[in-house]
Structure 1
Amino acid sequence: MTRPRAILGIALALATFTNLCHAEDKQPPQNWQAGLHRTDLTRGDLDVAGREVIQVRVDFDPGVTSPKHAHPGVEVAHVLAGTFEYQLDGRPTVILKAGDSLLIPAGIAHVAKNVGATKGSELATYIVKKDLPLVVLEK
């Protein structure tokens, strides 16, 4: 291979690698574990035997979808910022914006997706059975 061809080949390889790296930087996170950020706010026993209340703030990067999951009790989701699409098994899809709330019955599998262009946040309040995992992933 001549010197000019070798230099051209190296330049093309570097340009391709650089473009691939920059393309990855521009895509929204597809992995829900990287795009969801949970902050535990409070947890306490209720005066109902075997039940507790848990409250968390969940921040979703744009385009991120939670895995399909359920809880061992009721969830009240209140949208703090952004626009979310909620899909609950057996129910029509709903779109909620900042200030809207949704009651998710115990054991109902659901998915939440940030359909807005910016970070979305929800305040999730759970009234659940104690000593059980808060989140049960569904298939």
Structure 2
Amino acid sequence: MLRMALIAVSLAMLTVVSAAQDAPAGIKRTPLQKIAFPEGYSTVMGLAEIAPGASSGSHTHPGIETGYILEGEVLMSVDGQPDQTLKAGDSYLIPAGVVHDVKAIGNGPSKALATYVAEADKPLASPAP
């Protein structure tokens, strides 16, 4: 039973690492952990590092994203909401399926700790149409 659990966790981490490698230029995503919880969902925590002027590009997630800006300053654009400038110490919440984009502004890189609670059978992120 433990062996099966370890195999499942290893496969889940490979999926997260694969998604991290698909990041746009100037974005580095480092998966930190992924658990299968709650039932039918995955909870994923990761570190996003954004080079000055880089943007994630408009995209969606099949679940909520919540995060905390660790360093730098970003412009957060979320459909249906006014753009927000977030700096180190600010937190954010993006509802499931809502198109959004984040861009590092200012002179240095930005870092955010993000947590996703997303449907387990869907890609963690998809480009917006």
Q: 1: CA distance between counterparts of 2:27 and 2:55? A: 8
Q: Give the letter for the 2:55 counterpart.
A: T
Question: What's the CA shift for 1:122?
Answer: 0.6
Question: What's the CA shift for 1:109?
Answer: 0.4
Structural RMSD (CA) = 1.1
Question: What's the CA shift for 1:116?
Answer: 1.6
Structure 1 runs not aligned, ≥5 long: 1-31
TM-score where L is the length of structure 1: 0.74
Structure 2 runs not aligned, ≥5 long: 1-22
Residue 33, structure 1, aligned to residue 21, structure 2: no
Q: 2: CA distance between counterparts of 1:103 and 1:34? A: 24
The structure with the largest alpha-carbon Rg is 1
- 2:35 aligned to which of 40, 44, 57: 44
Number of aligned residue pairs: give it.
107
Alignment of structure 1 residues 82-93 onto 2, 5 Å: 82-93=72-83
Question: What's the CA shift for 1:34?
Answer: 2.4
Q: Counterpart in 2 of 1:98?
A: 88
Alignment of structure 1 residues 71-86 onto 2, 5 Å: 71-86=61-76
- 1:130 aligned to which of 116, 120, 126: 120
- Which structure shows the higher helix fraction? 1
Q: 2: CA distance between counterparts of 1:93 and 1:86? A: 6
Residue 112, structure 1, aligned to residue 102, structure 2: yes
Question: What's the CA shift for 1:33?
Answer: 2.3
Q: Counterpart in 1 of 2:14?
A: none
Q: Give the letter for the 1:90 counterpart.
A: G
Residue deviations 1:16-38 (CA, integer Å, cap 9, x gap) = xxxxxxxxxxxxxxxx7221011
The secondary structure found in structure 2 opposite 1:33 is: coil
TM-score where L is the length of structure 2: 0.80
